[in-house]
Copies of this chain bind each other. A is one copy, B any other.
């Protein structure tokens, strides 16, 4: 399987608010290093991304949001702030409404839903490169009619049409799905197997029937992102019935998780897409420091094997996974389970 990747991400490592403290984010450059090492060890072919098509990005993200992301760091500095990362401190929560503010502290809240994620000097270049990786992987998958792995960093599935959060700024899986649509696939499925619900991906396609979304994840009543990902969210308007959430309890192990995966795969088969995107998080791993499922390293090849039910081509997009030492092995476990040798 081909890998699309780049090193531009290295300079992006921001702060996060975690347990009432500001810490270096769990989402750090070393994650990509471990994945790269593991894919190199099994001799997967590596290519760099092509130039990002801004129109593609604007077809899944609000242009005003993109302009905000590009300029947020400069505006933060210009406002007199001194920290290395721009972080919101207030958000339009529930009944709070109103137009977008005009100052950076207000805009940061308007365009995010979490303080686990902030914007530094190198965040926009890294996020744009990550989206370029996604776009390029989609193109390769169509051109070669075979599976491709987009080694994206930062991840993307929590980024909505116009909000960052959960370490995500641009929605790489959405970029892939939209590109597959634009390249001739009438219906595309996104299967999100990260431990956390892909709230951003759901948000982007919630009213569309041409991109169906299925996610198995920790029950949001107890787990981030908390405020989206419930079983009764099934789509709206043209997208009614095109969204499937399978929330699972803390402590879910391989047997129950694989059963939920089969349910999601059956639902996708019924929707009859002609191409698929896998939001590949391996924070379902039992030793993941911020997650609470109990899959073992030996389980990930089986995950890959079951994903063969997806329609060709399949684009794998790297999402979460924070047990750094085992991250690469678990990712490669899925990829080689899907496509051995």
Contacts A20-B15, A22-B20, A221-B106 given; indicate if A113 touches B90 (C-beta within 8 A).
yes
A101's partner among B93, B199, B222 (CB-CB below 8 A) is B222
Interface string of A225-241 (1 = CB under 8 A from B): 11111100100000000
B20→A96 contact, CB < 8 A: no
How far is B246's CA from A172's CA once the two chains are assembled, in angstroms? Answer: 43
B98→A226 contact, CB < 8 A: yes
Q: Determine whether A86 belongs to the interface, using a CB cutoff of 8 Å to chain B.
A: yes
CB A314 to nearest CB in B, in angstroms, measures: 29
Contacts A89-B116, A222-B106 given; indicate if A98 touches B20 (C-beta within 8 A).
no
Where chain A touches its partner, the secondary structure class is loop
Which listed segment binds B: A50-58, A77-85, A278-286, A331-339? A77-85
Copies per assembly:
2
Q: Determine whether A87 belongs to the interface, using a CB cutoff of 8 Å to chain B.
A: yes
Q: Determine whether A19 belongs to the interface, using a CB cutoff of 8 Å to chain B.
A: yes
Interface string of A209-251 (1 = CB under 8 A from B): 0000000000011111111111001000000000000000000
A95's partner among B81, B106, B112, B160 (CB-CB below 8 A) is B160
A21→B20 contact, CB < 8 A: no
Look across to chain B and name the residue whose beta carbon is closest to the beta carbon of A199: B96
How far is B227's CA from A98's CA once the two chains are assembled, in angstroms? Answer: 5
Residues of B contacting A166 with CB < 8 Å? 90
CB A167 to nearest CB in B, in angstroms, measures: 12
CB A107 to nearest CB in B, in angstroms, measures: 9
Residues of B contacting A199 with CB < 8 Å? 96
Q: Determine whether A165 belongs to the interface, using a CB cutoff of 8 Å to chain B.
A: yes
Contacts A22-B22, A91-B114, A95-B203 given; indicate if A102 touches B221 (C-beta within 8 A).
yes
Residues of B contacting A115 with CB < 8 Å? 17, 88-90, 115
Give 8 CB contacts A-B under 8 Å.
A20-B83, A98-B230, A101-B221, A101-B226, A105-B224, A106-B223, A106-B224, A110-B227
Interface residues of A (CB under 8 A from B): 15-22, 76, 81-99, 101-103, 105-106, 109-110, 112-116, 118, 160, 163, 165-166, 199, 203, 220-230, 233
Question: Nearest 3 CB-CB pairs, A to B?
Answer: A20-B83, A96-B227, A90-B114
